[in-house]
Structure 1
């Protein structure tokens, strides 16, 4: 081991740890900023800060350089080298290098200012995170979807919980503004960047079933349809939905540009995807529509155009719960605005009583039932049944094969 060298033009001192005299290409050395005891505070741009954060979240002590490159991936190799140089010159790290045929190469990074590195990456300490998470959780969700998400913030890493809690008010605004779009659209709306939401957070939103009901899709939104009807354009090209014997996804543009739609005997609208798929397999003589949760604006626009081409009455079947009532209250406007009849199925006291299992109403459920105000008689009857039973359920438990066949056959 040699003495420390004088600082080079970058202010870096070097100490040779060992050399093998008989081998021209060998040895290890340690490198350190000459003013390491006095950190030269730097400001990292978003790409450097993001990579540093990824590194700190994966390594507790020293960083093996090959693993750092693995974290960076091939797209961020240059960023990794720039970050290494920046941190070394600023005095945040020591660097161990080994000489090979390519020259001196990094093999290990030794953090010497762990707390400062975390601050540089934008990672808060526990007390600060707890304070910010507590403040973020003071926000009260204004929709059933955001209320559901708030119940999923009790466990996990503090920084992840804080990040997700901060998404919730933006999702409320997205819903209240009747917006719809791709994941990149929502990320831009919520964070200011099209890639501003972590993959893990997208999975969290998807697992909790809030993306499609919020009109947030990965690509172009598709209207899921089934049953027996056909659409054709002005050039006599026709799509017969019944040929699929199952669900078909239609882009909204296919409906908007349709010159003609054959009118089914009724439109049956289902909330539960499993029930919808089973109904499509029955090859019914009706038109089937799946409503993705809270009927996003794009869905309402597409179905409204469909009704203009093929006006007929609707039978709507959603979960017998407060959210189901809210969905129906939003959807029926399409039929009422056009002077068309509608009714509900599986959404009354009898259906609630027939469910194999039910869940007690939460305080939020009761608040939702009150907030809905004046409702059409069929929906108000379900509201009273829910309050009387103090419980709710899912339509999948009610629509067995016989009831589903009766629904799509027009005898329920």
Structure 2
């Protein structure tokens, strides 16, 4: 009997060792871990960020193919999935971090109720011609602010902040009147009235990956609300509040002239620049000088007028791009492109851009469709600016290495019935 038990035990041990070797061969020693970078949770209907870390503990390279993710509640997967390709070789003993921004839908938070939702997913790995998936999982508590929000309004805007904020915000009505002035200035520039004239509300929200993000309700990250209030109390308007309002004035027409992410940020700041140079001159904004122009005494952000922001930051901030011949228009950054358009404004005036935005309003009203490619959107931008400034700006955009031609600009002018500039 003892001999039988010993033999059976040895047999099972051999099977276990064999199984272990087979498992190791099919599943190389690669670990996948994920962490929620906002441990306090994500707001329902709001954003959070997370990191997926893949570690190759083997002695040979592997390929990271793709990743997937979905929501889970109490171990049950919800149907919608997201993810993307990685297609990256990972060297032996190397680590790769995949940083992502996620969104917690309202309905997921509602379904979870008192439970904590989880993000679950897999990373697909290729090793020696074989592929397999490694899972990951992390919790996303539904975040809420510790206090109720209180709404204070003015003519065009309002703020919905935690009740206790107002004790330290004696300048709230002055701040909102300044934002009303910015609203009127942006409406004057663009001819646009976002959200059919409904108020834009600045709404405090739990921590998220952004300082703030735009919408009819502009979401303010609670981590920065206190310092913003301090600046308002000192007579310094919030760059971020005006910037997000600039995004809102793209409502209904932005798809015509926004060709990529940096362009979206530029157009918001272009409207900001107009607003801050057309509201009362005693209002200051906290910012810095352009790259290569250090502030005195090693300072970084200082209170300055809107005119200083225009001339000492945006107007000259494209020099680095222009001096680097290796860069092309696809690498041009938000502030670089702003320098180009601000120079057009300085030379030809703001009225050119008032006409520019109103052309898009007309094209939209006529039922025409915006260009579908970045190249065509840029060619249409130049065609409209040519018409409004009554000059040929193609050489200027070519100097900034935009991939446009006389022919591409004329094609857009013809398609949208714009005046062509005679050479």
TM-score (norm 1): 0.27
- Structure richer in strand, relative to its length: 2
TM-score (norm 2): 0.26
Larger radius of gyration: 1
